[in-house]
Amino acid sequence: MAYKVTNTKDESLEQLKALISAFEKEYAIYKTPKYSEAQLRIDFLNPLLKTFGWDVDNELTKSQFLRDVIQEESIDVEEEDSVTKKNPDYTLRIQGTRKLFVEAKKVSIDLDKSNKPAFQTRRYGWNANLGISILTNFETLAVYDCRHKPNAEDAASVARYQTFHFTHFLERFDELYQLLSFQSVASGYIDEYFAVTHKDTTTFDDYFLKQIENWRLTLASDVIANNDGFNNEDINFLIQRLLNRIVFLRICEDREIEKFETLKSIKNYDELKQLFIYSDKKYNSGLFDFIEDNFSLNINLKSEILIDIFNELYYPQSPYDFSVVDPTILSQIYERYLGSKIAIVNDRQISIVEEPEVAASSGVVPTPKLIVQNIVKETLAPLFEGKNLEQMQQLKLADICCGSGTFLISIYDFIFEKYTLEFVVAGITDSEIINQVFDGSYQLTLKAKHQILTSNIFGVDINPYAVEVSKFSLLLKLLEGENSGSIENYLAKHKQKVLPSLDDNIKCGNSLVDDSYFKFQPEAIDDDELLFKLKPFNWKKEFNFLETQNGFDAILGNPPYVRIQNIIKFSAEEIKFFQSDVSGYTVAEAETFDKYYLFIQRAINLLNENGVLGYIVPHKFFIVKGGKALRAFITSHSSIFKIIHFGVAQVFPNRSTYTAILILDKRKSEQISFKRIKRIAAELTAGSITYDSYNSAAYTEQPWLFVSKSSQAVFDKAKNANAISLRSIAEIAVGLQTSADKIYIFKPDEETETTYRFRYKNATYEIEKAICKPCLYDLSFGLFDTVKPNAQMIFPYIIQADKAEVFSEEYFQENFPMAWAYLNNFKDELSKRSINGSKKPKWYQFGRSQSLTRFHDNKKLIWSVLSTKSGYVFDENNLQFTGGGNGPYYSLFTSSNYSLYYILGILSHPIFEALVKSGASEFRGSYYSHGKQFIENLPIKKIDFTNAEEVKFHNEIVKTVKSLIATKATYNGIYIAAKKKVMQNKMDLLFNILVDQVNSLYGITNDELNTVLNDEELNNELNED
């Protein structure tokens, strides 16, 4: 039977039945040792993979970079008195990215009990940082969880996620299909399910990071203890370079570029130095350069420390197989490693300290490879389209905050693919440039790869150690696919060292500070310590092609997200420069900005007239007031080309950062391609992205809203229906700001006629009622609720004639002695607050003076800033609440002729709630912001209060809203289900009447209302991954 690549689950099931039947028919023969693994692969494993949708033979003729399945040559390698495979038998890939390995064994091998095949399979998968890998002889199919570090002594059952016997394939077909099928893997199931690590898992990246951190500590401690003359910079440089050299050589061993166990045979530091000197003659590249590095050859280092490190790099102490380790994973490990550094405590002791900026952001989180790949592809594909080889070779691509080189590696991969395909299409067969290998695919020569690295790729970072790691990462990438034979051939032919120097490509400096700093602060030229910290960077001097090519062709990356408060805290010498006229940073003119604002402006300015920018950044600036300057700069100096919006889906593990991929083009573009991603792994893994199109002319300094054209038309109709902004008829106010809510606010346990009793910090207190105000504290409520206070607030103020005066100490002690005594218990804590709004503040007054009189004898609307739906309520009981711009509550007052009930009726209408949601900041849990900036410009239908017909419209809405509030109060007070249902029906009827009234007011039809209600972007739950 000819087995085909199936396209559906039903086809897969039917073909699997036939395959099982064929296996059963000659089972006794297949079970004999004479039936080889190679034949099993042809007869059953290739068909099995086809059955689950994998294009084993590349029938779709995809390019070598996008093939679904990579089959390895069957090469046996002797190791530890046994024979093992050099590489996994099958690599299953989606869009060129490997997702799992499949390892084949003969049917005669008992996979349930044999631990060596299990270890081999797990070792491959663990080193590749995959979620799962599969071991099978068709009779048994074992799925191994590769998040667990393998050990050769482990039983075959260790880390075995599932086992399937072929006799159970059909009854467990759904499970098999979910784990093994192309459709399931492409949907992101494995990525999502096996992405989470637990305390009992030890992934490759976590394990290797812990090891190199331990090696750093051990080496640095020994160097400092036994050598003189080191400062912090020296010791960090030395240890970083030493580790890079050791890891580089160990990886070369597993890639068969260097003899296996060369490092393991080293017995002392003198032998290691000789190996380094030999490697410098062979590789060059700066990695083994002892001219710049004048430390390494002249230090004392204990032999036993080196021997311990080398042993830990080999089996049995570790299960490393660097031949399958992804250079991007190594780069990301180093990114985390660079979050801390060595600090000399005294002459002979060191400690490892976290970088302050890293500590403030709770650690380094590298950009996931899937995100990096998509940024690179979506940014560079249009740039390369239609270009020939000569034009490609002229392109200059950069990451100006390159870190450990993750983006640079992905840029290299992209260019490598483009060059290779172009050579093949052009029919170029020059063996100096390209070679065809055993499986028919093509491999660029080392010489051609040199050309890519030195001509196309550039990077800058302020951290010198990151620059070292970026170079290291790119050089490892360059050697991918090479072996000792190809290296020796290159050396013989070209009479030059194997690796190029990247000193002209990857540079250390401050991407945001250039020589204009000396105009801002001329005396800085004489302050060496300041210069060492600032590292001003002269772009045209460092990259002289910028003068002739007028800029980079593309800049990509993930710029640092640092709020202005932390810029001030960690870079005080920079902040005033950024805000000065000298710097040219118009985006820093905003009251609040983030460091990524500066990187976007800098990157745009560094691009040539046809350049493109691809960044992943927080999308908050799309809509908030503080982002206006950045929006203005972007839209006046470039075009928004593409936006991939992640909503509340979390790109970075263990972070709550709401991001989008932003792709800008210096050329004019009439349309913006926009896509909201709901499931990151599934939608980005799939490959091509289907975008919605928006008119770029509509996107200026005003908030960028992306809703469907039909919904936008309804919004525009509401705005143009003789409407005025909400802020023109009402005031939206924050709450009181005590700056110590837990002290000022309490929930009474008991009360007397004149006092409240409550507990705080394991003590009971009693204070006077007369100093307290009823308030809301951590209370949820819904639309049209009648809200009652759930707490009391100590309010040490006298309100007279709309002015609030803080109590004098004498008045406070005399009239409220119990409250005075209570607050005195926390005087030290209260005195540490920053108190604004008074020339001579009292230690017991609130931290801010806003809204002190706002709640006194004023009716108002109240709502929660973060909510999943409309939740406005009417209050006439002087309820207090606390909060600033981020809530938890806001309130609205009006002194105009417009009734609060009228405003409440409009705000509760679904179209106006959708209008809020379309422009609001999003948060996890389907919450979005109802902050002032998202509410204040809502269009309120203008009423001519001299026109009886318009007043009638106004009053009818008022009447309906009052009925809704009264009915909701009745509903909330009823506990009998039948009566609650009657009231619920009444509320539904009244709300429908209100919707019709507002529709009539704005001229909105039911079809238009349904357009908004059915808009997936506005009314589905916010995407969460």
Give me the pLDDT at residue 752, please. Answer: 96
Structure tokens at 868: 């999943």
The ranges assigned to domains in the chain are 9-193, 204-360, 369-614, 708-730+894-1025
Confidence of residue 75 (pLDDT cuts 50, 70, 90): very low
Which residues are paired to 460 by β-bridges?
A: 507
What is d(CA 858, CA 876) in angstroms, rounded to the nearest whole number?
Answer: 7
DSSP letter for 195, please.
Answer: S
Using the CB atoms, write b or e for 862-893: b if 16+ within 10 Å: bbbbbbeebbbbbbeeebbbbbbeebbbbbbb
Can you give the pLDDT at residue 837?
66
In the predicted model, is pLDDT for residue 694 greater than 80? yes
First to last CA, the chain: 42
Q: Look up tokens 């090519």; give the residue.
A: 549
Give the model's pLDDT for residue 384.
96
Residue type, 284: N
pLDDT at 73 over 70: no
Q: Kindly report, residue by residue over 633-664, the tens digit of the pLDDT.
A: 999 999 999 999 998 889 998 788 999 999 99
Quote the pLDDT of residue 1002: 96
CB–CB of 254/320 below 8 Å?
yes
Q: What is the pLDDT of residues 146-170, one digit of tens each?
A: 999 999 999 999 999 999 999 999 9
Q: What's the pLDDT score for residue 641?
A: 97
Average pLDDT estimate for 328-332: 94
pLDDT at 209 over 90: yes
Name the band, by pLDDT with cuts 50, 70 and 90, for residue 361: low
**pLDDT class for 438, splitting at 50, 70, 90?**
confident
Q: What is the pLDDT of residue 1008?
A: 95
Name the average pLDDT for the chain.
92
Cα–Cα distance measured from residue 507 to residue 500, given in angstroms and rounded to the nearest whole number: 15
Distances (CA, A) of 292 to 176, 285, 338, 507, 624: 56, 12, 21, 15, 48
Q: How far apart are CA 615 and CA 651, in angstroms?
A: 13
Per-residue pLDDT, averaged over 828-844, amounts to: 86
Q: How far is CA 251 from CA 261, 325, 473, 482, in A?
A: 11, 9, 12, 12
Average pLDDT over residues 924-945: 90
User: 1017 CB contacts (<8 Å, ≥6 apart)?
Assistant: 676, 706, 707, 708, 711, 918
Dihedral over Cα of 552, 556, 558, 563: its sign: positive
Q: Can you give the pLDDT at residue 426?
A: 87
Task: State the pLDDT confidence band at 1009, using cuts at 50, 70 and 90.
Answer: very high
Q: Is the pLDDT of residue 575 over 60?
A: yes
Helix/strand/coil (H, E, C) string of 246-271?
HHHHHHHHHCCCCCCCCHHHCCCHHH
* Residue 539: C-alpha distances to residues 215, 502, 556 (Å): 36, 17, 17
How does pLDDT run across 531-564, given as a tens digit for each residue? 999 999 999 999 999 999 999 999 999 999 999 9
**pLDDT of the residue at 291:** 60
Residue from 96, 173, 337, 330 nearest 239 by CA:
337
pLDDT of residue 816: 97
Question: Each residue of 819-835: pLDDT tens digit?
Answer: 999 999 999 999 998 88
When pLDDT is cut at 50, 70 and 90, the band that residue 285 belongs to is low
- The domain made up of 9-193 is a member of CATH 3.90.1570: yes
Percent of the chain topping pLDDT 70: 97
Query: Residue 925: pLDDT band by 50, 70, 90 thresholds?
Result: confident
Give the pLDDT of residue 84.
Answer: 53
Residue 686, pLDDT > 80, answer no
845 CB contacts (<8 Å, ≥6 apart)? 796, 797, 806, 835, 838
d(CA 260, CA 256): 7
pLDDT at 742 over 90: yes
* Predicted local confidence at residue 23, as pLDDT: 98
Q: Is the pLDDT of residue 1023 over 50?
A: no
Q: What does the pLDDT read at residue 440?
A: 81
Ramachandran angles phi, psi of 928, nearest 5°:
-145, 160
pTM for this structure?
0.86
For strands 772-776 and 791-794, give the pairing: antiparallel
Q: What is the mean pLDDT of residues 480-498?
A: 90
pLDDT, one tens digit per residue, over 713-726 is: 999 999 999 999 99
Residue 850 has a pLDDT of: 83
Residue 628 backbone phi and psi in degrees, to 5: -60, -45
Kindly indicate the confidence band of residue 196, based on its pLDDT and cuts at 50, 70 and 90: confident
- List the Cα angle 35/37/41 in 5-degree steps: 110
Q: How far apart are CA 182 and CA 69, in angstroms?
A: 10
pLDDT at 1019: 64
For residue 91, pLDDT beyond 90: yes
Distance CA(547)–CA(551), nearest Å, equals 7
Distance, CA of 956 to CA of 658 (rounded, Å): 42
Per-residue pLDDT band for 1024 (boundaries 50, 70, 90) equals: very low
Q: Is the pLDDT of residue 836 over 90?
A: no
Phi, psi of 187 (to 5 degrees): -75, -10
Least confident span in 87-96, 506-515, 714-723, 800-809: 800-809
